């Protein structure tokens, strides 16, 4: 398949942008990216998508969310995180969340995310096995973590049951990693999990080489309580427990000092910034610029689409991430367009430790990957989808004009690409 005539924003190491560019795809891998003239001269394809007047971008990566919460949208706004969690969300989940609920919520979230150009997301919820099935059926890619905490959850009522469910979940999805599902373990946070729960969760994840998804330093209360109870910051406490590593994805990372940032970088932890959520709950402003400067991979996320955000729109998160840093520093150059597109694509991939597979448009030779390891080639579903929906170009807004029919086709193509 060829995608031709668009402005190809590769997000490769040089951040190359090709006007009137083209992408050649063979099977499920990108084989060449270049000017339209060069690619058309070299490759013939059964299918060509004309992307003239459109941006061709890598699929966006939603690095932190709780997708089934689409069905809880509008439950309660205008409260603090602590109040929202304990008074509203946890009780509502205990009452309403079933496997069927999770399936429908995931289906809706998949449709919304595809419409917004998201091709990969990292999720933390309950009945995560059902989230995985629906994610795979939708043709999306997910890093999906079964939530573990110290009180009864909608799916499992004890720690032992949670760990047992999670182990089964990890076993089931092992080997599916390259295309669709990376099964993960998601100890919720240091304020809902004991030291023992955190360590058992990490141990289980490492037994199966699975990622660990966790909320870290997401509110001032968490920092204050950690200082009082653990004598140190949330990051340093987690480091002491050996939770942090190149398999860890830490959502939020708002209350992280200089030492914390060095630890996150040294341990190769991926961080995910959620500006809508942090602003809506008045949780604080993550030091994104300092984190990036320390060498930490910082991605972008929407957080759950209820209470802490009301949508799954990565374009909005890019917009807000830039504006939040600008106004906080009173500096319009604080975090620019290039930086936030990086966070939604290649840096988001790095935060999920998946930058060899996704996050940029480049062939395996261009990305310096070994051509004898086809599984490591950049995946092409991202290209198929994004070129077809067309994000804002030449004064056109998403929702305008001719994107409707191609979007339906693209969804089918993603499903067909297996």
List of residues contacting Zn ion (CB under 5 A): 303
Euclidean distance between CA atoms 401 and 148, whole angstroms: 45
Nearer to Zn ion, 303 or 357 (CB): 303
Closest listed residue to residue 407, CA positions, set 106, 54, 71: 54
End-to-end, the C-alpha distance of the chain in Å comes to 15
Nearer to Zn ion, 252 or 378 (CB): 252
Angstrom CA distances, 395 to 49, 57, 337, 358, stand at 21, 17, 17, 28
Nearer to Zn ion, 73 or 262 (CB): 73
Q: Which residue has the tokens 């058992």?
A: 200
Minimum separation from the CB atom of position 64 to Zn ion (A): 6
Nearer to Zn ion, 7 or 283 (CB): 283
Nearer to Zn ion, 251 or 414 (CB): 251
Minimum separation from the CB atom of position 277 to Zn ion (A): 7
Euclidean distance between CA atoms 171 and 187, whole angstroms: 18
Q: Which two tokens stand for residue 158?
A: 């004890």
Helices (H), 208-365: 220-230, 234-240, 258-266, 275-280, 288-293, 314-329, 337-344, 346-351
Beginning with the edge strand found earlier in the chain, give each strand of the sheet holding 297-300 in spatial order.
60-65, 118-125, 141-148, 181-187, 212-216, 248-252, 270-273, 297-300
Nearer to Zn ion, 202 or 306 (CB): 306
Nearer to Zn ion, 303 or 362 (CB): 303
Report which residue's Cβ sits closest to Zn ion.
303
Minimum separation from the CB atom of position 145 to Zn ion (A): 11
Euclidean distance between CA atoms 275 and 286, whole angstroms: 8
Minimum separation from the CB atom of position 303 to Zn ion (A): 5
Minimum separation from the CB atom of position 243 to Zn ion (A): 17
- DSSP states along 352-380: TT-TTTSSS---TTTTT--TT-GGGSPBS
Nearer to Zn ion, 26 or 82 (CB): 82
Q: Which two tokens stand for residue 106?
A: 């995931």
Angstrom CA distances, 314 to 275, 305, 321, stand at 10, 12, 10
Minimum separation from the CB atom of position 234 to Zn ion (A): 14
Minimum separation from the CB atom of position 66 to Zn ion (A): 6
Contact 206, 247 (CB under 8 A): yes
Q: Which two tokens stand for residue 261?
A: 């940032």
Minimum separation from the CB atom of position 65 to Zn ion (A): 7
Q: Which two tokens stand for residue 342?
A: 């990086």
């Amino acid at each position: 398949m060829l995608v031709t005539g668009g402005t190809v924003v590769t997000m490769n190491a040089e951040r190359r942008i090709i006007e009137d560019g083209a992408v050649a795809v063979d099977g499920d891998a990108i084989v060449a990216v270049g000017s339209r003239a060069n690619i058309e001269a070299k490759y013939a394809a059964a299918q060509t998508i004309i992307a003239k007047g459109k941006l061709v971008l890598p699929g966006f990566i939603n690095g932190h969310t709780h997708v089934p919460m689409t069905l809880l949208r509008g439950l309660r706004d205008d409260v603090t995180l602590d109040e929202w969690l304990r008074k509203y969300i946890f009780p509502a989940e205990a009452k309403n969340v079933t496997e069927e609920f999770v399936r429908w919520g995931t289906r809706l979230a998949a449709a919304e995310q595809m419409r917004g150009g998201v091709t990969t997301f990292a999720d933390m919820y309950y009945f995560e096995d059902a989230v995985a099935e629906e994610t795979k059926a939708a043709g999306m890619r997910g890093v999906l973590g079964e939530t573990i905490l110290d009180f009864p959850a909608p799916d499992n009522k004890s720690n032992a049951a949670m760990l047992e469910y999670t182990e089964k979940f990890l076993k089931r999805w092992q080997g599916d990693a390259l295309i669709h599902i990376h099964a993960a373990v998601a100890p919720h946070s240091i304020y809902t999990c004991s030291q023992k729960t955190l360590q058992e969760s990490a141990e289980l994840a490492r037994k199966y080489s699975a990622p660990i998804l966790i909320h870290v330093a997401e509110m001032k209360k968490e920092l204050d309580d950690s200082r009082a109870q653990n004598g140190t910051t949330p990051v340093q406490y987690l480091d002491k427990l050996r939770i942090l590593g190149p398999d860890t994805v830490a959502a939020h990372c708002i209350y992280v000092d200089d030492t914390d940032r060095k630890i996150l970088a040294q341990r190769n932890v991926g961080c995910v910034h959620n500006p809508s959520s942090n602003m809506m709950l008045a949780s604080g402003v993550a030091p994104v610029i300092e984190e990036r400067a320390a060498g930490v991979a910082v991605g972008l996320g929407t957080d759950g689409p209820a209470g802490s955000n009301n949508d799954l729109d990565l374009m909005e998160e890019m917009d807000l991430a830039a504006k939040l840093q600008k106004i906080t520093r009173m500096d319009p150059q604080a975090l620019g367009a290039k930086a936030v597109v990086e966070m939604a694509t290649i840096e988001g991939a790095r935060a999920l430790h998946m930058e060899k597979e996704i996050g940029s448009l480049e062939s395996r030779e261009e990305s310096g990957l070994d051509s004898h390891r086809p599984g490591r080639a950049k995946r092409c579903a991202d290209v198929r989808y994004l070129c077809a929906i067309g994000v804002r170009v030449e004064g056109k807004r998403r929702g305008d004009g001719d994107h409707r029919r191609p979007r339906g086709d693209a969804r089918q193509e993603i499903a067909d690409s297996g």
